[in-house]
């Protein structure tokens, strides 16, 4: 039965591919004339008689995508453990300058959950800034947050003058004010060179840097913000401090066990 369904699936997909190919190579008017009524009827008839095959194909596709995303996340976590600088790249960091514990945050300045998580991250880093390196990755959800990209570019421009984290804090604590006049006002308040600030936030470099972060987030299958990775721990949402502390404790325990294992191997 499965082999039959598989063959039938391939037949349906093959017919659909032919139709899609013709449609893709032609204008709508041309496509209407090139796709024969007989071929169209064949595709529709197979779908009517065996709708379960479409469902099977979709499920199989979803499984493949999920596996690919899991593999991408596993590779990301492993790289974060073994070569954190490759993950950090040119992104802003704060906390310990060299640490075995790195927390990567994907966030959106207009996201209310990110605003809540910001308070937790501040308290967490105030306590563990000598043990943890925090790095920020932009993931503005522009489809639901109209100011997200503009805010990200403004923060990136502040980063070019060494004031990312100060600007970042103002954006998160006054999300209701996000807008053009607020970006300028905040830059002036932080004593930034406003002309340079405007050039930087409207530059191709800002666009590229933020796009790279977005592409990384999408490759990991991140669908919402905030999203955190602390060494091997992955967690999302407006996490409470107690829960973040639990993750931190697990990370430290894992590092301790790895260190014990390495010493035993040397002996």
Residue 52 lies in a domain: no
Residue 77 lies in a domain: no
Residue-level pLDDT at 2: 42
Residue-level pLDDT at 24: 47
CATH number where 116 lies: 3.40.30.10
Residue-level pLDDT at 202: 97
Residue 4 lies in a domain: no
Residue-level pLDDT at 263: 53
Give residue 198's domain range.
Answer: 82-239
Residue-level pLDDT at 67: 73
Residue 112 lies in a domain: yes
Residue 199 lies in a domain: yes
Residue-level pLDDT at 253: 95
Stated pTM of the model: 0.75
Residues in the chain with pLDDT < 70?
A: 1-35, 53-54, 57, 61-62, 65-66, 260-267
Residue 266 lies in a domain: no
End-to-end CA distance of the chain: 57
Residue-level pLDDT at 76: 86
Number of independent structural domains in the chain: 1
Residue 59 lies in a domain: no
């Amino acid at each position: 039965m499965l082999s039959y369904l598989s063959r039938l699936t391939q037949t349906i997909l093959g017919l659909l591919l032919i139709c899609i190919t013709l449609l893709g190579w032609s204008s709508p008017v041309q496509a209407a004339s090139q796709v024969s009524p007989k071929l169209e009827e064949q595709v529709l008839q197979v779908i009517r008689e065996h709708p379960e095959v479409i469902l099977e194909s979709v499920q199989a596709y979803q499984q493949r995508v999920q596996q690919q995303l899991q593999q991408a996340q596993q590779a990301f976590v492993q790289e974060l453990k073994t070569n954190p600088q490759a993950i950090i790249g040119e992104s802003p960091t704060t906390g310990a300058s060299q640490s075995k514990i790195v927390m990567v945050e994907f966030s959106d300045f207009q996201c209310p959950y990110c605003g809540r998580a910001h308070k937790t991250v501040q308290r967490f880093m105030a306590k563990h800034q000598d043990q943890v390196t925090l790095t920020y990755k932009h993931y503005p959800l522009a489809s639901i947050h109209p100011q997200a990209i503009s805010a990200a570019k403004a923060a990136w421009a502040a980063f070019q003058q060494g004031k990312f984290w100060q600007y970042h804090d103002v954006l998160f604590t006054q999300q209701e004010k996000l807008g053009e006049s607020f970006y300028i006002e905040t830059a002036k308040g932080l004593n930034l060179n406003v002309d340079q600030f405007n050039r930087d936030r409207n530059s191709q470099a800002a666009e590229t840097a933020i796009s790279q972060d977005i592409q990384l987030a999408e490759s990991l299958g991140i669908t919402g913000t905030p999203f955190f990775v602390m060494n091997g721990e992955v967690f999302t949402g407006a996490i409470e401090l107690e829960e973040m502390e639990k993750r931190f404790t697990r990370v430290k325990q894992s590092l301790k066990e790895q260190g014990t294992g390495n010493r035993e191997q040397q002996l």
